[in-house]
């Protein structure tokens, strides 16, 4: 039986010689090895941190350190719970403030912005993602925190005695606080979420948009009722990446969080995070026990980051499965 040929005289992929298929196999095996090395590196980091933090495991136990309520070097009390809460709350604030702005920016850049401005706007957003975190931190310390502190104080005075909004520490609100750290993190994750959301929205099939218009839907009804639900799994993936950036941010929070290792119910009070603790204290430690405590803090941060990303991936897979089931 004669072999089937394709236009142009080229052979089908199955008819390629083993030598011609060698680059494809090399690329596949090479990418597989690189992906496996990433997993090996994460496992190595985990066990290395466990080994470095083993003295704390023996002395204070797993739960005693992680859920202790105070980190006081002078009193030799080392509890990471306030740092864990600070890490999670600042990241949550960043998502609450940054994600709506990022999605709105992606919709504008994809569907509303004039064509001649889309290119410059896209480049500008991508450049914001490339700004080093220390630059955001310096801007926050020198510009944002001093100017926003009077606003915090006005809100705290008007809501005196109310948890979350009311100030503590004698009624004083601080510029370097939960809220400022959340604002800076929100600014930092907006370019990431915007870029990914923009790409996902742009890949929504035009047939769905045209079908919605054909049924009499308005422009906004098409955007909110057709395009966003279709792009929702991809937008969720961008949010997960933004959350990972917020959880692991170091330098900006080291300058803006305030460095307080005790937890407060006020958004306008200073706090600390696990990453900021490592950045501020690691070069100053001299004793092996102090190094072990910081390594334990790093281990807790790694566990939180991996746990959040795994949970986010499971949610994303479920969302994609439900979306495919509705198609």
Domains delineated in the chain: 25-326 (1.10.3720.10)
pLDDT by residue (tens digit) across 16-69? 677 777 788 888 888 999 989 988 998 888 888 888 888 777 776 666 677 766
**pLDDT value at 1 more than 50:** no
88's CB contacts (< 8 A; 6+ apart) are 304
Tokens 């990914």 identify what position?
196
Mean pLDDT of 266-273: 82
Q: Are 241 and 313 in contact (CB under 8 A)?
A: no
Q: Rounded CA gap, 142 and 138, in Å?
A: 6
Tokens 């395009």 identify what position?
227
Any idea what the Cα angle at residue 279 is, between residues 92 and 145, rounded to 5°?
55
**pLDDT value at 87 more than 50:** yes
Q: Rounded CA gap, 177 and 79, in Å?
A: 20
Q: Rounded CA gap, 81 and 63, in Å?
A: 10
- What is the predicted pLDDT for the residue at 186? 92
- What is the predicted pLDDT for the residue at 171? 67
> Which of 91-95, 156-160, 263-267, 282-286 is predicted with the least confidence, judged by mean pLDDT?
282-286
């Amino acid at each position: 039986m004669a072999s089937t040929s394709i236009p142009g005289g080229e052979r089908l992929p199955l008819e390629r010689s083993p030598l011609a298929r060698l680059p494809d196999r090399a690329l596949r095996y090479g990418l597989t090895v690189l992906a496996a090395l990433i997993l090996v590196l994460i496992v190595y980091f985990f066990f290395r941190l466990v080994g470095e933090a083993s003295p704390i495991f023996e002395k204070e136990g797993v739960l005693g350190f992680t859920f202790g309520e105070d980190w006081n070097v002078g009193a030799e009390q080392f509890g990471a719970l306030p740092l864990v809460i600070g890490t999670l709350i600042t990241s949550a604030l960043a998502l609450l403030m940054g994600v709506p702005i990022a999605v709105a920016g992606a919709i504008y850049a994809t569907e509303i912005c004039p064509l001649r401005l889309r290119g410059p706007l896209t480049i500008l957003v991508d450049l914001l993602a490339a700004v080093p975190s220390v630059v955001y931190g310096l801007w926050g310390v020198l510009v944002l925190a001093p100017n926003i502190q009077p606003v915090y104080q006005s809100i705290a005075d008007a809501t005196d005695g109310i948890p979350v909004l009311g100030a503590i520490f004698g009624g004083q609100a601080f510029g370097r606080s939960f809220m400022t750290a959340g604002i800076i993190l929100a600014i930092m994750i907006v370019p990431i979420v915007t870029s990914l959301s923009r790409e996902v929205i742009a890949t929504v099939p035009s047939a769905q948009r045209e079908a919605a218009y054909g049924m009499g839907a308005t422009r906004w009804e098409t955007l909110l009722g057709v395009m966003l639900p279709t792009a929702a799994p991809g937008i969720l993936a961008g949010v997960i990446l933004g959350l990972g950036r917020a959880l692991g941010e170091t330098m900006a929070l080291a300058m803006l969080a305030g460095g307080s290792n005790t937890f407060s119910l006020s958004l306008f009070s200073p706090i600390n995070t696990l990453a900021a603790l490592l950045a501020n204290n690691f070069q100053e430690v001299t004793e092996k026990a102090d190094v072990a405590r910081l390594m334990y803090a790093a281990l807790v941060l790694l566990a939180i980051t991996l746990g959040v990303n795994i949970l986010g991936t499971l949610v994303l897979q479920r969302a994609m499965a439900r979306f495919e089931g509705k198609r």
